[in-house]
């Protein structure tokens, strides 16, 4: 019995000592701890975002500490919620998040705010009604996705004739950025008098987009273009077009400017994409989070740049 009691006491003492050491380490650095929570790192866009954040931290390691985490599946909302809860438990000073779902992540981010953690939203904007319903204010630092999609749509429209048929492959239904890109594509097509014959989700994924595109090509023999809400889906659509032997008949539009699409642009396989500067997107959010720390007042949204990328504008090696 005495040995058991002694063991329990030693365990408690060790745990307490370890906790003190962790607390001392945080106090010794004197630097705020920022957590970057992303969507799927299997998507080149978010890997580029992570690399940009790490490069920024390397240059500014005297100013803050950085943790980067992401989910394997871009639609795994439950896992991303767990990642945020983990950061709350670790008592980080700020969370910069690209939410997998514009509504589902609001509750856990409110929990972070209630714990005194600064939260900045990047990439995919939180749903305004959901924020209001929970009385939450979280600033969005990122691009106007509707504007970016319209840039691409307008460029496509110049290659088409009034009355031509096109299809849209949307992002995930509960993603604000996906919804906005769809609206931007619609703005451009409606303005040019071009007919949208299909608008279906590809859930951001290459394989799903490939299946949607293949079905569209069969259903609409006169299809002239497919507008995709991200480049991963554009790659899937391109594979479908090649498989159907219609590379000269159907134009492809993407969004994100990932490396694979840059190659396709140079080869003439994809018409255009939109650059929202993935390598800097997290950096913008981190910088704003650091600025907000220790300040009072209402945080404000900050719009970042979007640029149309075509074979003519892309930088060639």
**Per-residue pLDDT tens digits for 123-140:** 999 999 999 999 999 999
* Sign, Cα dihedral of 132, 149, 206, 123: negative
pTM of the model: 0.85
- Considering the segment(s) 2-142+281-302 as one domain, its CATH architecture is 3-Layer(aba) Sandwich (3.40)
Say whether 145-275 and 2-142+281-302 share the same fold.
yes
DSSP codes of every residue in 277-316:
-HHHHHHHHHHHHHHHTT--S----EEE--EEEETTTSPP
Q: How many whole angstroms separate alpha carbon 64 and alpha carbon 67? A: 10
Within a 13 Å sphere around the CA of 116, how many CA atoms are in the beta-carbon half?
8
pLDDT of residue 117: 97
pLDDT of residue 28: 52
pLDDT of residue 20: 33
CB burial of 164-177 (b: ≥16 within 10 Å; e: otherwise) equals bbbbbbbbbebbbb
pLDDT of residue 27: 40
Q: How many whole angstroms separate alpha carbon 31 and alpha carbon 14? A: 26
For the chain, list residues with pLDDT below 50.
1, 4-27, 317
Tokens of 307: 């640029």
Tokens of 82: 């767990």
CATH number at 145-275? 3.40.50.2300
DSSP 202: -
Q: Where are the domains of the chain?
A: 2-142+281-302, 145-275
Within a 13 Å sphere around the CA of 8, how many CA atoms are in the beta-carbon half?
5
pLDDT of residue 41: 85
pLDDT of residue 59: 97
């Amino acid at each position: 019995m005495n040995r058991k009691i002694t063991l329990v006491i030693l365990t408690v003492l060790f745990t307490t000592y370890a906790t003190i050491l962790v607390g001392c380490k945080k106090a010794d650095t004197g630097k705020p701890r920022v957590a970057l929570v992303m969507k799927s790192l299997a998507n080149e866009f978010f890997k580029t975002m992570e690399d940009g954040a790490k490069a920024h931290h390397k240059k500014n390691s005297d100013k803050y500490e950085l943790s980067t985490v992401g989910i394997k599946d871009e639609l795994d909302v439950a896992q991303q919620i767990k990642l945020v809860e983990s950061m709350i438990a670790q008592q980080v000073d700020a969370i910069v998040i690209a939410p997998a779902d514009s509504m589902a992540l609001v509750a856990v981010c409110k929990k972070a705010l209630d714990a005194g953690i600064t939260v900045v939203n990047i990439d995919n904007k939180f749903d305004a009604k959901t924020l209001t319903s929970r009385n939450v204010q979280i600033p969005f630092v990122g691009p106007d996705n509707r504007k970016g999609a319209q840039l691409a749509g307008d460029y496509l429209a110049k290659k088409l004739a009034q009355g031509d048929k096109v299809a849209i492959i949307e992002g995930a239904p509960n993603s604000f950025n996906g919804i906005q890109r769809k609206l931007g594509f619609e703005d451009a097509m409606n303005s040019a008098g071009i007919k949208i014959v299909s608008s279906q989700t590809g859930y951001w994924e290459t394989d799903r987009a490939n299946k949607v595109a293949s079905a569209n090509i069969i259903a609409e023999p006169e299809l002239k273009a497919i507008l995709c809400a991200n480049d991963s889906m554009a790659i899937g659509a391109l594979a479908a077009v090649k498989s159907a032997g219609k590379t000269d008949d159907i134009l492809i539009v993407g969004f994100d400017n990932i490396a694979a699409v840059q190659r396709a642009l140079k080869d003439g396989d994809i018409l255009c994409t939109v650059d929202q500067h993935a390598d800097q997107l997290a950096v913008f959010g981190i910088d704003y989070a650091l600025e907000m720390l220790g300040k009072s007042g209402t945080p404000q949204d900050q719009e970042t740049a979007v640029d149309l990328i075509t074979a003519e504008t892309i930088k060639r090696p």
